[in-house]
């Protein structure tokens, strides 16, 4: 796997696909610069070698139209602050104006191109557009894991115009290594903790990882589809009745593959989907009518703790309860604490996928796990066993 560490960028112009799709407030200030921070090591490596960096990214969904609200000019000052170098900006990403700005770029300088998605050809994976982009650098670096699952012009198609001069950025390389550790090279026992509301959104992940894991913890709203499928009474809990056969099939497959599945045995049930609802701890198979399970119960958390602490490789995807409400966040926080303890004891822990990343950030676990993935959809497709086109393009 070639990374920026395999190249010397002296007097070279590095064309870097970054993921600067960051949130902005109503005054166009960046409210979360994590994605910019994540790209910094790759950019610094290029500059320290004596090269210059040409950064390309998308922002939002302009649908192929120029939209001043989604101009990357808004984030220029934040990128400058994060990198510690004044970043130049050019008002297009292809054509004469962009090519002149690149030609004028000196070693040690950074240029940010305008939003790629102002051109419809970007999302279409247009080859002529990719060729135009390719004129803006000597070496192509993909450091945008968040878009690696898209076969867009700047993430995939462009790589063919750099047959030898292409590599992974340090962020993307770390993402690939983290997923490989879970899916291929991880020390056993390997544990996957899958939470979230629906079995249907996790089917392909579950089916793909059953060959890789020794333990599977099921939490969150998915729990009740599995419980009802086995004859339990789930009251008013979220349940996908049309997925009960599938849940039973997953349990059967797990048994055949000697994977131990751990499903909650007790839950914190509420009489309303609200923070101030009345609550009670109940057996997960005997949730009364009018009540719904919204978090894991104490006996369940003891079981989860034992499994997590004996695991050496841990994947966490999806919360254990409705963590957005303080009353039902205890299970998710407890699991975070158990993973923190296991990590301190030498386990490798990877957190990925929207809600679990949000929970980890909200409760301060970011620096207590081994790795937090930056790419939601890309991470999930990797776990489903799909080859991501942005990664294949660099390896190919």
Distance CA(169)–CA(3), nearest Å, equals 6
228: which 2 tokens?
């009802």
Say if residue 385 carries a ligand binding annotation. Answer: no
- What's the DSSP call for residue 71? -
Identify which of 314, 341, 351 has the alpha carbon closest to the alpha carbon of residue 214: 314
Give me the catalytic one of 2, 160, 361, 377. Answer: 377
113 touches 152 (CB < 8 A): no
Q: Token pair 């793909």 is at which residue? A: 208
| CA-to-CA separations, 280 to 154, 301, 326, 334, in angstroms, rounded | 52, 16, 15, 18
Say if residue 17 carries a ligand binding annotation. Answer: no
84: which 2 tokens?
């510690």
Say if residue 216 carries a ligand binding annotation. Answer: no
Say if residue 35 carries a ligand binding annotation. Answer: yes
Say if residue 64 carries a ligand binding annotation. Answer: no
Say if residue 202 carries a ligand binding annotation. Answer: yes
Give me the catalytic one of 35, 174, 243, 368. Answer: 35
Distance between first and last Cα of the chain = 10
57 touches 79 (CB < 8 A): no
φ, ψ (nearest 5 deg) of residue 142 = -100, 115
Say if residue 61 carries a ligand binding annotation. Answer: yes
310 touches 304 (CB < 8 A): no
167 touches 191 (CB < 8 A): no
Is residue 354 annotated as part of the catalytic site, yes or no? yes
Give me the catalytic one of 88, 299, 312, 354. Answer: 354
Distance CA(371)–CA(360), nearest Å, equals 11
Give me the catalytic one of 88, 160, 198, 312. Answer: 198
Say if residue 286 carries a ligand binding annotation. Answer: no
Say if residue 60 carries a ligand binding annotation. Answer: yes
Is residue 390 annotated as part of the catalytic site, yes or no? no
Distance CA(230)–CA(156), nearest Å, equals 45
Say if residue 117 carries a ligand binding annotation. Answer: yes
Following DSSP, what letter does each residue of 12-60 receive, concatenated?
-EEEEE------B-TT--BS--HHHHHHHHHHHHHHHHT-EEEEE---S
Say if residue 20 carries a ligand binding annotation. Answer: yes
Is residue 35 annotated as part of the catalytic site, yes or no? yes
Give the count of alpha carbons within 13 A of 79, CB side only: 28
Is residue 377 annotated as part of the catalytic site, yes or no? yes
Annotated binding-site positions: 19-21, 35, 58-61, 117, 150, 202, 293, 324, 353-356
**What residues are labeled active site?**
35, 198, 354, 377
Annotated binding-site positions for (2R)-3-phosphoglycerate: 35, 117, 150
Annotated binding-site positions for substrate: 19-21, 35, 58-61, 117, 150
Annotated binding-site positions for ATP: 202, 293, 324, 353-356
């Amino acid at each position: 796997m070639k990374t920026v560490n395999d190249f010397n960028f002296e007097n070279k112009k590095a064309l870097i696909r970054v993921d600067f799709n960051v949130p902005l407030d109503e005054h166009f200030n960046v409210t979360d610069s994590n994605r910019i921070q994540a790209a910094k090591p790759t950019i610094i490596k290029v500059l320290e070698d004596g090269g210059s960096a040409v950064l390309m990214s998308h922002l939002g969904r302009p649908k192929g139209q120029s939209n001043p609200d989604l101009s990357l000019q808004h984030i220029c000052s934040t990128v400058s602050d994060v990198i510690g170098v004044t970043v130049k900006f050019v008002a297009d990403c292809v054509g004469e104006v962009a090519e002149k700005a690149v030609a004028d770029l000196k070693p040690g300088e950074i240029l940010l191109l305008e939003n790629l998605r102002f051109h419809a050809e970007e999302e279409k994976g247009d080859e002529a557009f990719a060729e135009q982009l390719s004129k803006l650098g000597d070496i192509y670096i993909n450091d945008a894991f968040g878009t690696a699952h898209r076969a867009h012009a700047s993430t995939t198609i462009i790589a063919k115009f750099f047959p030898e001069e292409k590599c992974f950025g340090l962020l993307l390389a770390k993402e690939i290594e983290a997923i490989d550790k879970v899916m291929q090279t991880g020390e056993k026992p390997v544990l996957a903790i899958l939470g979230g509301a629906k079995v249907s959104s996790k089917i392909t992940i579950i089916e793909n990882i059953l060959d890789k894991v020794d333990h599977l913890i099921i939490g969150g709203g998915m729990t009740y589809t599995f419980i009802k499928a086995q004859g339990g009474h789930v009251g008013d809990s979220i349940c996908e009745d049309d997925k009960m056969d599938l849940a039973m099939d997953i349990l059967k497959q797990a048994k055949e593959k000697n994977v131990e599945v751990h499903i909650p045995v007790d839950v914190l049930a509420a009489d309303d989907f609200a923070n101030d609802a009345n609550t009670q701890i109940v057996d997960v198979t005997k949730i009364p009518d009018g009540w719904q399970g919204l978090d894991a119960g104490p006996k369940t958390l003891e079981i989860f703790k034992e499994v997590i602490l004996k695991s050496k490789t841990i994947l966490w995807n999806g919360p254990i309860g409705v963590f957005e409400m303080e009353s039902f966040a205890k299970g998710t926080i407890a699991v975070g604490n158990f993973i923190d303890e296991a990590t301190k004891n030498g386990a490798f822990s990877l957190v990925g996928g929207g809600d679990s990343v949000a929970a980890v950030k909200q409760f301060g676990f970011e620096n207590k796990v081994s790795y937090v993935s930056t790419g939601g959809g890309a991470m999930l497709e990797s776990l489903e066993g799909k080859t991501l086109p942005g990664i294949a393009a660099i390896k190919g």
